[in-house]
Amino acid sequence: MYKKIVVVVLVLAMALSFMVACQAKEVETAEPAATTEATVEEAPAAGGLVGVLMPTKDLQRWNQDGDNMKSQLEAKGYTVDLQYANNDVATQVEQIENMITKGVNVLVIASIDGSALANVLEEAKAADILVIAYDRLIMDTANIDYYATFDNEMVGTIQGQYIVDTLGLADGNVGPFTMEIFVGSPDDNNAKLFNKGALDVLAPYIENGVLDVKSGEGKTNEEWTKIGILGWKSEDAQARMENLLTTYYSDENIDVVLSPNDSLAQGITAALIAAGYEPGSETKPFPVLTGQDCDVNSMKNILAGTQSMSIFKDTRDLAARTVTMVDQYLAGQTVETNATYNNNVFEVPSYLCTPVFADINNYKELLIDSGYYTEDQLQ
């Protein structure tokens, strides 16, 4: 009995810490979400085998996500099978099949192609496995249970607003400013949402010519897949930026580049430097350049003045929230959600963590003081 009391106290303390880490927030979505408070009555079922599937090791954030998920689940007594699929869809499908065969109780999946898992997830559901879509919504299937992510449309909104604020557009500055738009992978539903959030903010300025997209590419959210960079590859973003600069900007500078994440921003930066742009230059100053994930390399670029900002999505919080959802579900408790996302089949109960931006002015408080990075890591 004593042990159970101790465990319950510990669980209550940890549940309280999770509530603080990834605050429940009212989210404007098409479907008002039932925000349900978890009632922690008894210790969650310690133990159980959890399969964690991440898309690739090529981008820093997914290594952090995988490490956080593994350490936080193991700390709570779960056994973890963590796999990376090198951005290869067939590999990820095979990994899921193997985990089903191994008898996992839970699958936490950051999908490579959100529309490619419907068949294998039928097998998961037949095996009564809890399926949580992690960060990226899994589309076109009824066979997922929950979605844990950051507010993806808000990511774009913050990026768009950062551009507006930096240029003083809401204060009557009419430019015009030249701008080009980049979009993430066409197989990633997040990329559509990032783009929608940003263009909803920027559309009035594009329409009235204050922001002049000289290429004419990607000016509306409907066009997102036309210019999407498959696999979020830096080198492909670099190639597109090089082509845009050569074709449209030989006789005038580019003032703004909307990049949805850091891997694209790093490729764009390489193209701009090669074209003679440099921070503080009188003749070819670096454009306002957005990003997302606060990768170490992009944070270094922010300190160097080439990238302007990045969205901070604390992967520790997303992992903690996902682990809470696993615990609550396996303990038969109400799983706390604060939104729903439509995946073309149903409104998926979701938990959205809140993104914020980091730039030269606030990175110390956000990233160093929180222990996310050390100062040395960013030198």
Q: How far is the CB of 194 from ligand GAL (least distance, A)?
A: 8
Q: HSE on the CB side for 80, CA within 13 Å?
A: 22
Q: How far is the CB of 135 from ligand GAL (least distance, A)?
A: 5
Question: Rg (Cα) of the chain, in Å, rounded?
Answer: 21
From 73-81, 84-92, 182-190, 300-308, span contacting ligand GAL (CB under 6 A):
182-190
Q: Between 141 and 261, whose beta carbon lies closer to ligand GAL?
A: 261
From 5-13, 183-191, 314-322, 345-353, span contacting ligand GAL (CB under 6 A):
183-191
Bridge partner list, 342: 347
Q: Between 163 and 294, whose beta carbon lies closer to ligand GAL?
A: 294
Q: How far is the CB of 357 from ligand GAL (least distance, A)?
A: 14
Q: Between 185 and 340, whose beta carbon lies closer to ligand GAL?
A: 185
Report CA-CA distances (Å) from 142 to 79, 139, 345.
27, 9, 6
**232 interacts with ligand GAL by CB under 6 A:** yes
Q: Between 59 and 309, whose beta carbon lies closer to ligand GAL?
A: 59
**266 interacts with ligand GAL by CB under 6 A:** no
**261 interacts with ligand GAL by CB under 6 A:** yes
**151 interacts with ligand GAL by CB under 6 A:** no
Site string for ligand GAL, 282-311 (x = CB under 6 A): ----------xx------------------
Indicate which single residue of 87, 92, 95, 190 sits in contact with ligand GAL (rule: CB under 6 A).
190
Q: Between 327 and 359, whose beta carbon lies closer to ligand GAL?
A: 359
Site string for ligand GAL, 89-128 (x = CB under 6 A): ----------------------------------------
**321 interacts with ligand GAL by CB under 6 A:** no
Print the SS3 string covering the chain: CHHHHHHHHHHHHHHHHHHHHCCCCCCCCCCCCCCCCCCCCCCCCCCCEEEEEECCCCCHHHHHHHHHHHHHHHHCCCEEEEEECCCCHHHHHHHHHHHHHHCCCEEEECCCCCCCCHHHHHHHHHCCCEEEEECCCCCCCCCCCEEEEECHHHHHHHHHHHHHHHHCHHHCCCCCEEEEECECCCCCHHHHHHHHHHHHHHHHHHHCCCEECCCCCCCCHHHCCCCECHHHCHHHHHHHHHHHHHHHCCCCCCCEEECCCHHHHHHHHHHHHHCCCCCCCCCCCCCEECCECCCHHHHHHHHHCCCCCEEECCHHHHHHHHHHHHHHHHCCCCCCCCEEEECCCCEEEEEEECCEEECCCCHHHHHHCCCCCCCHHHC
CA–CA gap between residue 211 and residue 133 (Å, rounded): 36
Q: How far is the CB of 46 from ligand GAL (least distance, A)?
A: 30
From 2-10, 90-98, 184-192, 266-274, span contacting ligand GAL (CB under 6 A):
184-192
Q: Between 105 and 263, whose beta carbon lies closer to ligand GAL?
A: 263
Bridge partner list, 181: 258
Residues 34-93 that bind ligand GAL (CB under 6 A): 59, 61
Q: Between 64 and 253, whose beta carbon lies closer to ligand GAL?
A: 64
Q: How far is the CB of 292 from ligand GAL (least distance, A)?
A: 5
Q: How far is the CB of 129 from ligand GAL (least distance, A)?
A: 23
> How many residues lie near ligand GAL (CB under 6 A)?
12
* Residues near ligand GAL, by CB under 6 A: 59, 61, 135-136, 184, 188, 190, 232, 261, 263, 292-293
